Amino acid sequence: MKQQGLFIGVNEYEKDSGLGSLKFAEKDADHISKIFSSRYGFEVDTLLGKAATRAGIEDALDNYRGGDLFVLFYAGHGGEHRGQYNLFPSGSNANGRRALDFSVLSRILQYDLGFSKILILLDACRNENRVYDNKRRSTPGFYASRDIEAVLMGDSYVDIIYGCGEGQVSYEAEELEHGLLRTCAPKADKQPDEPDILSPCYVLCPLCGRRNEEINTFKCLSCGKDYLCLTHQDANTYVCEQCQAAHQKKKIEQDGIRRAQEKEKEALRIEKERQKQRQQEKEQKQREAERLAREGLLGKAWKDPKTGMAFVWVPGGTFDMGDTFGDGKENEQPVHKVKVGGFYMGKYQVTQGEWVKVMDKKSPGFWSKIIGFDPNPSDFKKGDRYPVENVSWNMIVEQFIPALNKLSDQTYRLPTEAEWEYAARSGGKKEKYAGGDDVDALAWYDDNSNNSTHEVGTKAPNGLGLYDMSGNVWEWCEDDWHNNYDGAPDDGTAWMDSPRGADRVVRGGGWDSSARYVRSANRGRDTPDYRNGNLGFRLVFQAVK
């Protein structure tokens, strides 16, 4: 008889998924898989934690083709989304993204796997996205139909056992340290038509000779002895007490060897520490001189005392500018050496709150006199910490920067295109996106933005501590647009024509861009008077001695 099973458990969900963490789902899946394997002879596979994604589950199911009995166990979140019951595996969220439609899963189990009988065990809420009063909450032992072994005795082709009733919330029993569905598994009563694999029988323990019902025994995963009393089992390792004693003896011997090795290493460490201390004292003056060049005149980080705008020091250096990965566009060629001096770059894209603060100071009370006029030009007016957008190059250079310089008594400007790419790539490193290769961790773009901008600084920074240089909104640069880098400056200055060209450079991609367009080397262009909801900017602070 060919019997197989897939056991799935998910405890942790992403913070912004709308799904709370569980404690015992993965433990339940692992425990029940061992019961089906050791006691009933099932071939079992487990998908736990981050491995239990929708794609991981679908790939695992592809490996099963034909047999007598197949069991699918799932412990995690579940609920209704858009009229359909869904399971929420790892990587999904409450809005249905990467969720697993249960009707689709059922069709796969019934029509694609080719088993004679299917049993589905779901320890998940039946309608988690709705709110119910406490009277409808499931309680231990309330649903007698959750008797797993009794269901296995039936003749139906597909059986589904839920951890709660329809429209109710399944929950974990803190005092038992597992979900309610697992509570019912060992309590099944014998039925007349019960299959042989589940028929209760009595066996003798090979260690103490005690007579036990088979379901209340275990098989040692170390020595292979079967039908052992549960009193001989180590709860954490699932091995018998004899094997555990042998393991403990071996561990004591290994600990003695390890302590001797650690003592020898400690003596070597002390000597190396003394040598290191002498070397540090010798190099102290040299490091202090290098620090000034590395951290900038005002330190690694600086805030404008009047506006609160934050800036990060970008140490100068030489880098290969352009399509260093060979998967870009023709306008990113040729790759060429550029030497960039140190400068302070805006830690974040300029926000809506900063724009309104500066422009209101430019003409105090002016905006309030115009009935219905909003000084915030943004399309997505969602809060002060969202990037300002729908601003043209002319608005920034001719209105905002002069007003900011006057208000703060400092000197600000747009970055040159070379400065922008050098800073985005964490100081000229070979990085596909601003900070590395994981676009979802670094950027708001079309796959994860939900068609909107997001608060600045909510994705991971790059190696210099700069946020959102890939995605969220495109960023204006000082340079005129050129179709490629032939003739481009090699000193990091802005490439400007005389008279000025028709278009200006934009970099970084935005919330509506694909991953290809949020690469660090990607280039774009717009006319200086053009504005829309995916165009913003960040500034360079010109520190003066």
- In the chain, domain spans: 3-200, 207-294, 301-352+387-393+408-541
User: Of 517, 343, 526, nearest to 443 (Cα)?
Assistant: 517
Cα torsion angle, 368, 372, 376, 382, sign: positive
Distance CA 221, CA 216 (A): 16
Query: Do the beta carbons of residue 87 and residue 102 sit within 8 Å?
Result: yes
| Residue 299 CB burial class (10 angstroms; 0-12, 13-18, ≥19) | exposed
At 146 the pLDDT is 38
| Residue 329 CB burial class (10 angstroms; 0-12, 13-18, ≥19) | middle
Q: Is the pLDDT of residue 429 over 60?
A: yes
CATH class given for the domain over 3-200? alpha beta
Select the more confidently predicted residue: 535 or 152. Answer: 535
Cα torsion angle, 413, 418, 421, 423, sign: negative
At 292 the pLDDT is 61
At 124 the pLDDT is 86
Select the more confidently predicted residue: 35 or 325. Answer: 325
Select the more confidently predicted residue: 158 or 27. Answer: 27
Tell me the pLDDT tens digit for each residue of 462-489: 999 999 999 999 999 999 999 999 999 9
Select the more confidently predicted residue: 292 or 354. Answer: 354
Distance CA 246, CA 242 (A): 6
Select the more confidently predicted residue: 444 or 112. Answer: 444
- 39-48, 178-187, 292-301: which is most confident: 39-48
Q: Is the pLDDT of residue 356 over 70?
A: yes
Estimate to the nearest angstrom the gap between the alpha carbon of 103 and the chain centroid: 27
How big is the CA angle at 52 (ends 51 and 58), to the nearest 5 degrees? 110
Tell me the pLDDT tens digit for each residue of 121-130: 888 887 543 3
Q: Please give the mean pLDDT across all residues of the chain.
A: 84
Select the more confidently predicted residue: 365 or 167. Answer: 167
Of 59-63, 174-178, 367-371, the poorest mean pLDDT is in 367-371
At 127 the pLDDT is 59
At 362 the pLDDT is 62
Q: Is the pLDDT of residue 74 over 90?
A: yes
Q: Is the pLDDT of residue 421 over 90?
A: yes
Mean pLDDT, residues 50-59: 93
DSSP 232: G
Mean pLDDT, residues 299-325: 94
Residue with tokens 């597992």: 178
At 66 the pLDDT is 85
At 85 the pLDDT is 87
Which ranges of 425-460 does DSSP label H, i.e. alpha helix? 439-442
**Model pTM?**
0.49
Distance CA 405, CA 302 (A): 16
At 363 the pLDDT is 55
At 132 the pLDDT is 30
Q: Is the pLDDT of residue 140 over 50?
A: no
The encoded tokens of residue 425 equal 């790539």
Mean pLDDT, residues 7-19: 92
Cα torsion angle, 405, 411, 416, 418, sign: negative
Query: Do β-strands 540-541 and 412-413 pair in parallel, antiparallel, or remain unpaired?
Result: antiparallel
Distance CA 403, CA 408 (A): 9
Mean pLDDT, residues 227-242: 78
At 155 the pLDDT is 56
Select the more confidently predicted residue: 80 or 524. Answer: 524
Tell me the pLDDT tens digit for each residue of 253-290: 898 898 989 998 999 999 999 998 888 888 887 776 56
At 412 the pLDDT is 96
Mean pLDDT, residues 320-338: 96
Query: Do the beta carbons of residue 468 and residue 457 sit within 8 Å?
Result: yes
Residue with tokens 């970099």: 507
Q: What percent of the chain has pLDDT over 70?
A: 83
Residue with tokens 């002319």: 394
Estimate to the nearest angstrom the gap between the alpha carbon of 352 and the chain centroid: 27
Mean pLDDT, residues 136-165: 51
Q: What percent of the chain has pLDDT over 90?
A: 52
At 360 the pLDDT is 83
| Cis peptide leading into residue 499 (ω within 30°) | yes
At 180 the pLDDT is 57
Query: Do β-strands 343-346 and 540-541 pair in parallel, antiparallel, or remain unpaired?
Result: antiparallel
- Separation in Å, CA 313 to CA 79, 310, 320, 426: 48, 10, 20, 11
At 399 the pLDDT is 95
3-200 matches 301-352+387-393+408-541 in fold: no
Name the architecture of domain 301-352+387-393+408-541: Alpha-Beta Complex (3.90)
- What is the C-alpha end-to-end distance of the chain, expressed in Å? 83
468, amino acid identity: D
The DSSP element (H or E) to which 124 belongs, if any, is: none
